[in-house]
Every structure is written in C-alpha cells, then in structure tokens.
Amino acid sequence: MGRAPCCDKANVKRGPWSPEEDAKLRDYMEKNGTGGNWIALPQKADLKRCGKSCRLRWLNYLRPNIKHGEFSIEEDRVICTLYATIGSRWSIIAAQLPGRTDNDIKNYWNTKLKKKLMSVIPQFNQRKAPPPFPDSYQNSPLSLSSQMLPPLSLDSSSQYYACGLNKQFASHEFASLPQYLSTNDNNSLGNPNNCSSFQAQEGYYSPLKESNNFMFGGEGSCSCSDGSSGGQIGQTREIIKQEEMGFQDYSIYSDYAYQYVEKTNGYFGENIAESYDLEDVKKLMGSTSLSCNGSILDENKEELKLMPMYYF
C-alpha cells in the first residue's frame, strides 16, 4: 500500500497561480508565517491549494529577496564548482547564492549551463555527478582546509582508477602507483614524478573511454605539485597555487578545466572540439576558489564533509 496523499487531490486547484492566489498567500505569510504547518496553511489562508504547492510557491516565487533573471559569471562559477564537488544537491548550491532558489538553479543548470559547458568540454557527458559521500566518511570527515590525512582504506574487492591512466588499479596495487606513473607515462601527464596526489573515489563515474587515454572526470583526480605537467597557462597554475595555499581543490570540474586547458595547448594532441570558446571556460573556471575561504558551507553554515585527498 502506498503512502496516503498529502491532500485531497480532487478538491485542490492545480496549475499556475493567479495573482489573487499570490496575494492571498503573500498576505497570509506576512501576517502569520507558516505557523509551522504548511499542510494546514491553505485552509487558514483561504486557498484551494495543496500545502506543498503553497510552500513551493512561497519559497520559489513570493518570498522576499528572490532574485530572478540572468545569472552572473560568478554565480555560474559557483554553480559549476559546487556541482562538480557535490553533484545535484541544489538546495546546498542555492544556499551559496543569496536570492536564488534551488529550483531556479536546477532549471538554469539543466537548460543552459550544462549545455554551455558541454559545448566547450565534449567529454562532459561521459560522467555522472558524484553520489553522496559514503557512510564511512560521515563520522570522520575532513574539511577542505585540513592537513590531516586518514589512513588509506579501500575495499580490496573493488577497482579504482588512477588519474590520467588508462588502467585500473586494485586496492592492493595502490602502493605501486607512483612507480607506474614514472614508467608508463605515455599520456602527457608531464613529469610523472610530480604527480603527487590522488583522490580515491570508488566507482563514481563512467568507464574510461577507450579512444582517449586521458580520463576525463574519472574516478581519480590528479594534480602535479609544481605545475610542470603542462601547466602552461593560468588555469592550471591557479589550481596548483590553491593547493600550495593549503586548501586542495576537489573539483572534478577543475580537473576538466585543467585537462582541457592542457589539451587546448596541444599538449594531448587531437580530440578537441572546434567550436569551443576558451574564454567561456576561463570565465567559468578562472578561479576555482570556493566561497568561505575554500570551504563549502551548508545551510547551517557548517563545513560539509568531503572526501579526503590521499598522498603518496
């Protein structure tokens, strides 16, 4: 048996709100607030609407200080960075953009921003958003700025991808990864000895593309400590710089930009979209720094729990 409906569907109005309904809801909210109960509100406010509908209308449209219209470049960048970090958790993303609603951001992402990025990053559609953090990280989170690193603990039965490498690693092989990097670097990671960090995430994204040695947005992300892995223009150096400043950049998007920038320099050769607008990428990803000094704050202004970065 399914859940009981939240209201009598037959006796509630649906569809677009009229100005009269908006006025009723606005008046009621300004005088009384929700009273802690959205379900009971329509009756009190003399609205033939479902409580959930009232809540949505208020939060997304009527509530004071709602911002509509064009998103700024800065807002674009925040959305991209956060999406890359936490996925489609729109309410959290909205909490970082005053006046914007989760619905607004979701629509904007789905209809415009995603396409904009896809047009400049052809491989974008190969990846999925990250899932919620595993339970095992919930109790011992690291903040972005933390310098403490937990012991490397991986599921021995799982396969993990190493950054930029067309090879899977079982967990027991991780110890040999730096050596592998130094002897099998045929995909232009630059000096593999400089590839110092590896972010282990299990099974989050789509499989490697066979046609492309370099993994876009894959299960691991890699940064080179001195920028020598093709860090020829600003974007790459910016990411490196932020790491040096003490907070690592976890953004998968940043990796996209990072790798993409290298490709645009011809570092990886072919397979570049002809129609990209590098300025767009620069604008969007020109700074990967997040708000609040590199931390991501949730609605309660508490630091989110983030996957740790492992170092060899």
Partner DNA sequence: AATAAGGTCAACCGCGTTTCT
Partner DNA sequence: CAGAAACGCGGTTGACCTTAT
The reply on whether position 213 binds DNA by CB under 7 A is no
Q: Considering CB under 7 A, how many residues would be counted as binding DNA?
A: 43
Distance CA 266, CA 281 (A): 16
Which residues in 115-144 contact DNA (CB under 7 A)? 115, 129
Q: Which of 29, 47, 85, 104 binds DNA (CB under 7 A)?
A: 104
Minimum separation from the CB atom of position 240 to DNA (A): 31
Compare residues 129 and 304 and give the one whose CB is closer to DNA: 129
> Which residue of 26, 61, 191, 286 would you call a contact of DNA, by CB under 7 A?
61
Q: Is 304 in the site for DNA (CB under 7 A)?
A: no
Q: How far is the CB of 287 from DNA (least distance, A)?
A: 24
60 makes contact with DNA (CB under 7 A): yes
If one asks whether residue 32 binds DNA (CB under 7 A), the answer comes out as no
Q: Does residue 50 bind DNA (CB under 7 A)?
A: yes
Residue 64 in contact with DNA, rule: CB under 7 A: no
Residue in 32, 91, 184, 293 binding DNA, rule: CB under 7 A: 91
Is there binding between residue 107 and DNA (CB under 7 A)?
A: yes
In a 13 Å sphere around the CA of 147, the CA atoms on its Cβ side amount to 4
Nearer to DNA (CB atom), residue 48 or residue 311 = 48
Contact between 112 and DNA (CB under 7 A)? yes
- Taking the complex as a whole, how short is the minimal distance between the CB of residue 215 and DNA, in angstroms? 23
Among 34, 143, 265, 295, binds DNA (CB under 7 A): 34
Q: Which is nearer to DNA, 131 or 150 (CB)?
A: 131
Asked if 17 interacts with DNA (CB under 7 A), we say yes
Nearer Cβ to DNA (23/175)? 23
Q: Is 106 in the site for DNA (CB under 7 A)?
A: yes
Query: By C-beta, is 71 or 268 nearer to DNA?
Result: 71
Provide the minimum distance between the beta carbon of 264 and DNA in the complex, in angstroms, as a whole number.
25
Cα separation, 90 vs 104, whole angstroms: 9
What is d(CA 239, CA 260) in angstroms, rounded to the nearest whole number?
13
Distance of alpha carbon 168 from its chain centroid, rounded? Answer: 24
Residue 24 binds DNA, judged by CB under 7 A? no
Answer whether 306's CB lies under 8 Å from 142's CB: yes
Selected binder of DNA within 6, 175, 272, 278 (CB under 7 A): 6
Q: Tell me, letter by letter, the H, E, C secondary structure of the chain.
A: CCCCCCCCHHHCCCCCCCHHHHHHHHHHHHHHCCCCCCCCHHHHCCCCCCHHHHHHHHHHHHCCCCCCCCCCHHHHHHHHHHHHHHCCCHHHHHHCCCCCCHHHHHHHHHHHHHHHHHHHCHHHHHCCCCCCCCHHHCCCCECCCCCCCCCCCCCCCCEEECCCCCCEEEHHHHHHHHHHHHHCCCCCCCCHHHEEEECCCCCCCCCCCCCCCCCCCCCCCEEECCCCCCCCCHHHHHHHHHHHCCCCCCCHHHHHHHHHHHHHCCCCCCCCCCCCCHHHHHHHHCCCCCCCCCCCECCCCCECCECCCEEC
Which candidate, 216, 210, 211, 204, places its Cα nearest to that of 259?
A: 216
Return the number of the residue (111 or 186) whose C-beta is nearest DNA: 111
Summarize as ranges the residues that interact with DNA (CB under 7 A). 2-4, 6, 9, 13-17, 34, 36-40, 50-53, 55-57, 60-61, 68, 88-92, 102-104, 106-108, 110-112, 115, 129, 299
